Chain A
């Protein structure tokens, strides 16, 4: 019952927040200079008042801003995000098309980041101030500070172009047709089709962009795991456990890691939220048709409905992830559950 109340409260909070985000983004997009008519119509078409009037009428741009807002909110309450000014298609359809590609890549990246980040963090904490610790810290600092577009070009150049180990840009090799859409995630859809080679091919295409995207979050997770583990290791209950003769590995895995992981979960959640928002440059270099590219094109075209749609999606990502992280806190630490 308590759990249901918690989820109910969260959902209500979610709806209010989304309306707030929609209002805020709507106001901001209307405040910034930029006219979608100028951005989307050609120079020649702009000279024809009839074409300009038809275009403005078609996209509701001829209405006063306040009327546009109420129409937008009314449509939003009916789960209608409007029609993209740039593509002339429903924004919801556009997001449904490109979001699965981003989810697939983000999930792959966050798994790499979490596994390697926690592993490196543990190594670094156990071997504090050793050469191994220095190496791990150097890797994490590099991961956090390396510009993703440059890293993307670098890994593509070496691992695809020079060493020929990993496949190049795109989601599938030329010999495979895209799987029938069920989830929109090629690995899963290929498995649903029962096509293992296609699923492996799709998975192999995730490696390079996934690694590039993982680098930043992995660096953060490593550093957070290391510092929290070191803090926990210096507490009294660990000293007691040590005095009872517990081995180092058992001590870390059974007693220290659980407590050290709570802040790490927050970092993983934020990292996933960040990745689900789409990464324009990495998506462009790896020819990945995700939310980042869609958002970029929408901004260039001053496509208000799409910009607001992407903003809502990002807000929703963070809210859902935060809720999941809160629930996971409870699972890891019973004190949170009690509170």
Chain B
């Protein structure tokens, strides 16, 4: 009996081993392999022959229809398969013409005329014209999805000829070129999209049915074509044979959706993926000893901030400017950086490091607990006070806001402020309260909507985020006026000058304290060239080559 049982157990073990190490040469297009790299010696490098690159990235998105994309990762795919009038070719640079050839602003800044490049074709072979551009922008606008606000300053679009697009703006908009780089405003092959249920009409929000099609393939002029998309699993991009420009030497991208950082670390180490976009401090440490793997650490433009409501009804003691200054002085910025990990920066103020016009970082010796106590006493709170610190269930690039709230609570305890952390889910109250401006004291984050310093103007009094802190334009008319001044400044030098004035004005005053620019960590195989952290696109696949 004992022998029989032993034999049965061994048979089971052998069956598992056979399954794990099974696989023989496959006839046909793909080489045979098992997933275990060791079993066949095969890695991402030779997985499907020639220059195939495998990328692992997080999920959290459910469509790749450019008109709807708003989350962090879809731009990785959209930028590879579609092109925009303008593009960021470097992370901290200015938008440069892509499908645009030349452009010109009218003197009053209310008209932008763009001449298109000649000889651009879509993957279908159709020629790209001004009608496609107008369709794409109107499509995004009328879908009324998350990114539609990007078109709010575009009043109308005129196409006097096939290669000219004239944007009539509702107001001067110095960020319009940056907005036109956004994936949601990518230029679509309008003929193909219309054939598949797309429309740019005013009722597109209900009449457009092209999403199902654009979730299975792409309809752009980019370097790649999306040939397969299995939600929450895998996306495959193959080279566009009709690409009008000069391509890289990568023939195919396999994009694996791997939400877990540890999984990404292991697959990168094993050579099953070439690029892992969601590395963390812990996984970086593990990768340091792995051969052929490089790590990139850099601050993103996603910024965490403390908000103190200026309206006394909601803010209570934190609406007092002296208390706000005390809190600003009490925060241990170096400690916050430690929590957020390698690559974290503390911006000087509302304009993040990396943006045009940024004044860089806040001084590391800014923290001064004694001075903070003095300020608190001047405000009439020599013994501190108790206050609720509301925090939600979101994370800033993987850093839990609750962790930041805990750090803030500890720092404030040093000056006698007893912050009572109140957790509230985003979709169950916090979101509404935050938007309505009824939160008194909170830690939140702000991800940039498009890659331009103007997105930060929303922190000014009377603007979107300013009002969430009860900071009306009347409370600081001079600062509030700088919103429009910046929008009007289509000349970059003029814009930089105003942005610097704004930062100086808010460095020690106002309801917001910018505590950290969250870092991003990317691990990649050294056989690749051109891998770089990108704020607008997360990763620009069109810049990568195999060495």
Q: Which residues of B contact A195 (CB under 8 A)?
A: 26, 28
Q: Which of A169, A197, A201, A302 contacts B263 (CB 8 A)?
A: A169
* B431 at interface by CB-CB < 8 Å: yes
Q: How long is the Cα–Cα vector from A338 to B1 in the complex, in angstroms?
A: 36
- The answer, yes or no, to whether A177 is at the interface (CB within 8 Å) is yes
Asked if B385 CB lies within 8 Å of chain A CBs, one says: no
Contacts A174-B47, A175-B47, A289-B231 hold; do A167 and B266 have CB atoms under 8 A apart? no
Q: What is the minimal beta-carbon distance from B536 to any residue of chain A, in angstroms?
A: 16
Listed residue (A87, A173, A248) with the most chain B CB atoms within 10 angstroms of its CB:
A173
Asked if A44 CB lies within 8 Å of chain B CBs, one says yes
Q: Is B31 an interface residue (CB 8 A)?
A: yes
Which stretch, B92-100, B250-258, B299-307, B358-366, touches the partner chain A? B250-258
Tell me if B518 counts as interface (CB < 8 A to partner A).
no
Contact call B38/A164, Cβ cutoff below 8 A: yes
Partner of B22, one of A33, A161, A203: A203
Given known A-B contacts A173-B33, A197-B32, A207-B19, A38 and B266 have beta carbons under 8 A apart: no
Interface mask (A46-90 → B, CB under 8 Å = 1, otherwise 0): 111011001101100000000000000000000000001011110
A205: Cβ under 8 A from any B Cβ: yes
Q: How far is the CA of A154 from the CA of B48 in the complex (A)?
A: 29
Contact, CB under 8 Å: A205 / B35:
yes
- In the complex, the chain A residue whose C-beta lies closest to that of B60 is A297
In the bound complex, what is the Cα–Cα distance between A115 and B144 (angstroms)? 54
- Interface status of A126 (Cβ within 8 A of chain B): yes
The answer, yes or no, to whether B145 is at the interface (CB within 8 Å) is: yes
CB A126 to nearest CB in B, in angstroms, measures: 7
A173–B47 CB distance below 8 A: yes
B266 touches A177 (CB 8 A): no
Q: Tell whether, in the assembled complex, residue B12 and residue A204 are in contact, meaning their CB atoms are under 8 Å apart.
A: no
Is A263 close to B, CB under 8 A? no
* Residues A33 and B263 in contact, CB atoms below 8 Å apart: no
User: Inside 8 A of B228's CB, which chain A residues have their CB?
Assistant: 177-178
A contact residues around B9 at 8 Å (CB): 119
Does B435 contact A287, Cβ atoms closer than 8 Å? no
- Interface: B146 (CB within 8 A): yes
Residues of chain A contacted by B60 (CB below 8 angstroms) = 297
B206 interface hit (Cβ, 8 Å): yes
Query: Quick check: A51 and B148 within 8 Å, CB to CB?
Result: yes
Query: A197 touching B23 by the CB < 8 A rule?
Result: yes
Instruction: Assess whether B182 is interfacial by the CB under 8 Å rule.
Output: no
The A/B interface has a contact count, at CB < 8 Å, of 217
Contact A200 B22 (CB under 8 A): yes
| Docked pose: A164 CA to B270 CA in angstroms | 9
By the criterion CB–CB under 8 Å, are A207 and B20 in contact?
yes
A168 to B42, CA, bound (A): 13
0 or 1 for each of A171-200: is its CB under 8 Å from B? (1 = yes): 111111110000000000000000101101
Indicate whether B39 reaches chain A with its CB closer than 8 angstroms: yes
The answer to whether A8 has its CB under 8 Å from any CB of chain B is: no
Q: Which of A119, A170, A248 contacts B35 (CB 8 A)?
A: A170
Contact among B34, B36, B146, B428 with A32 in the assembled complex (CB-CB below 8 Å)? B428
How far apart are the CA atoms of A126 and B233 in the complex, in Å? Answer: 45
| A82-B230 Cα distance, complex, nearest whole Å | 21
Residue of A nearest to B233 (CB): A289
A258 CB–B CB distance under 8 Å: no
In Å, the complex CA distance between A178 and B429 comes to 42
Closest CB of chain B to A286's CB: distance in Å? Answer: 8
Q: Does chain A have a CB within 8 A of B185?
A: no
In the complex formed, the residue of B with least CB distance to A84 is B62
- Which of B5, B236, B263, B429 neighbours the largest number of chain A CB atoms within 10 Å of its CB? B263
A side interface size, CB within 8 A: 75
Question: CA separation between A156 and B12, bound complex, in Å?
Answer: 20
Q: How far is the CA of A167 from the CA of B272 in the complex (A)?
A: 10
Chain B residues whose CB sits within 8 angstroms of the CB of A166 once the complex forms: 20, 35-36
| Residue of B19, B272, B435 with highest tally of chain A CB at under 10 A | B19
- Please name all residues of chain A whose beta carbon is closer than 8 Å to the beta carbon of B145 when the two chains form the complex: 45, 51
B425 touches A34 (CB 8 A): yes
B435 touches A46 (CB 8 A): yes
Collect the chain A residues with CB atoms within 8 Å of residue B233's CB.
Answer: 170-171, 287, 289
- Report whether B464 and A170 are in contact in the complex, using a CB–CB cutoff of 8 Å: no
**B427 CB-CB contact with A under 8 Å:** yes
Say if the beta carbon of A314 comes within 8 Å of chain B. Answer: no
Closest to A172 in B: B35
Contacting A at CB under 8 A, from B233-290, are: 233-234, 236, 254, 256-260, 262-263, 266-267, 269-270, 272
Query: Cβ of A146: which chain B residues have Cβ within 8 Å of it?
Result: none
A222 within 8 A of B: no
Q: Chain A's nearest CB lies how many Å from the CB of B393?
A: 9
Within 8 A of B (CB), among A9-54: 32-36, 38-39, 41-48, 50-51, 54
**Bound CA span A38–B280, Å:** 29
Residue of B nearest to A41 (CB): B146
Instruction: Tell me, in angstroms, the Cα distance from A303 to B283 when the chains sit together.
Output: 32
B70 touching A42, Cβ below 8 Å: yes
Cβ-neighbour of A207 out of B16, B24, B52, B425 (below 8 A): B16
B338 at the interface (CB under 8 A from A): no
* Neighbouring A residues of B38 by C-beta, 8 Å: 164-165
Binding site for B on A (CB under 8 A): 32-36, 38-39, 41-48, 50-51, 54-55, 57-58, 84, 86-89, 97-98, 115-116, 119, 123, 126, 153, 156-157, 160-161, 164-178, 195, 197-198, 200-201, 203-207, 248-249, 284-287, 289, 293-294, 297, 301-302
**What are 29 A-B contacts defined by CB distance under 8 Å?**
A35-B428, A36-B427, A38-B426, A45-B145, A46-B435, A48-B152, A54-B144, A57-B206, A87-B63, A87-B231, A97-B231, A156-B263, A156-B266, A157-B266, A160-B270, A166-B36, A170-B233, A173-B35, A174-B47, A174-B272, A175-B42, A177-B236, A201-B22, A203-B22, A206-B19, A287-B260, A289-B257, A297-B60, A302-B427
Given contact pairs A45-B145, A169-B256, a sample of 5 additional A-B residue pairs in the complex whose CB atoms are under 8 Å apart: A54-B206, A88-B211, A178-B228, A195-B28, A207-B19
